[in-house]
Each structure stands twice: as structure tokens, then as C-alpha cells.
């Protein structure tokens, strides 16, 4: 994946339903966007366990104070803040910067080292 520092406009904030995911193509990368009571989150849409692009269709919830999404395939739960899998140590999904400016949701892909 090529690194980018640019913010890419994705959609208006009012198009994101609370506690539901949506997939977006950002600079050639499928990203899963989530709007929760805790804020906006962006992670790769690809489930690292199955390899399928389905995380945007996952079940949004929480474990304690941690906002999460559960994969719709095998139900592994991911921390939306960090991308770490809470069920399988060492498994994670890439997370990306997301912000809302003037009602428009923008994503900046994680810069690769």
C-alpha cells in the first residue's frame, strides 16, 4: 500500500447511520467507516482472519468502554480505536485517521513505515 498524507472526502456525516458501518474506497483501499457515540472510526474493510472484505457489515458494539466491531463471518471482535483483535492475540486490522470538517467525513490512510 502506498502511503498518503492527504485527507480524502468520503461522505457527509449525516449519511453515516449511528452504530452501522459503511464501506468506502479511499485511494484504492477498502475502508470501513463507523459512527458511534464514541466518535468516528476508520479501519480496513478486510477481515484479517478470513481475508474477506466484510468488516463494514460487522456488528457494532462495545466491551466495557471499548467501541468494537465483530466480524460478520467468524465473530472476532476488533477495537475500533486501535484495530487490535480482542479475541485473538497478535491479530489486528489497520486503522486510519478520520475526521469531520464542515459536515464532511474525511479519511487519511495510515502512513506505512
pLDDT in tens, the chain (113 residues): 444 469 999 999 999 999 999 999 999 999 999 999 999 999 999 999 999 999 999 999 999 999 999 999 999 999 999 999 999 999 999 999 999 999 999 999 986 53
> What CA–CA distance (Å, rounded) separates 94 from 83?
6
- Does residue 3 contact residue 109 with C-beta atoms inside 8 Å? yes
The DSSP-derived string for 29-65 is EEEEEEEETTEEEEEESB-TTT--B-GGGSEEEEETT
CATH tag, 8-108:
2.102.10.10
Give the Å distances, CA to CA, from 48 to 7, 71, 93: 25, 10, 6
> What CA–CA distance (Å, rounded) separates 101 from 62?
26
Q: What is the pLDDT of residue 111?
A: 61
Amino acid at each position: 500500500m502506498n502511503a498518503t498524507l492527504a485527507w480524502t472526502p468520503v461522505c457527509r456525516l449525516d449519511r453515516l447511520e449511528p452504530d452501522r458501518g459503511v464501506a468506502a474506497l479511499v485511494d484504492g483501499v477498502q475502508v470501513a467507516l463507523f459512527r458511534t457515540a464514541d466518535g468516528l472510526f476508520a479501519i480496513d474493510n478486510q477481515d484479517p482472519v478470513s481475508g474477506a472484505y466484510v468488516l463494514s457489515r460487522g456488528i457494532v458494539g462495545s466491551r466495557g468502554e471499548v467501541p468494537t466491531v465483530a466480524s460478520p463471518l467468524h465473530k472476532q471482535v476488533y477495537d475500533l480505536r486501535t484495530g487490535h483483535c480482542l479475541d485473538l492475540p497478535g491479530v489486528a486490522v489497520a486503522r486510519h485517521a478520520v475526521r469531520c470538517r464542515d459536515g464532511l467525513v474525511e479519511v487519511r490512510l495510515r502512513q506505512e513505515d
